[in-house]
Amino acid sequence: QKEVEQDPGPLSVPEGAIVSLNCTYSNSAFQYFMWYRQYSRKGPELLMYTYSSGNKEDGRFTAQVDKSSKYISLFIRDSQPSDSATYLCAMSAGAGSYQLTFGKGTKLSVIP
């Protein structure tokens, strides 16, 4: 079983739709969770960073962590064509860990 599973898509939605992106993981030691957005031919940029379970909201983006189910989500409200990108989840364990474990990314297209 891979440590982090992420549906690669592609996912295509109409402009204005609510998008749900998800990752599951197997390592119960993970405590820090991140979502990155990567545009074509660019490096990943950090979107959301959360610790432990719960929700975090930033504008149109909401990150949700359910540690009991080992499941994290990123919701995008009122999706825009500029949201078209690949979204990567990432996570790390505590105890001074510097290394992240990444999902393989979900490619999202928002159609005008």
Binding residues vs other proteins (CB under 8 A): 8, 31-32, 34, 36, 41-46, 49, 88, 90, 92, 94, 96-100, 102-105
Q: Which is nearer to other proteins, 17 or 53 (CB)?
A: 53
Task: In angstroms, give the least distance from the CB of 15 to other proteins.
Answer: 26
Adjacent-strand bridge partners of 89: 35
Adjacent-strand bridge partners of 85: 108
Q: Which is nearer to other proteins, 75 or 102 (CB)?
A: 102
The total number of residues written for the chain in this structure: 112
Q: Which two tokens stand for residue 69?
A: 């189910």
Q: Which two tokens stand for residue 32?
A: 């820090």
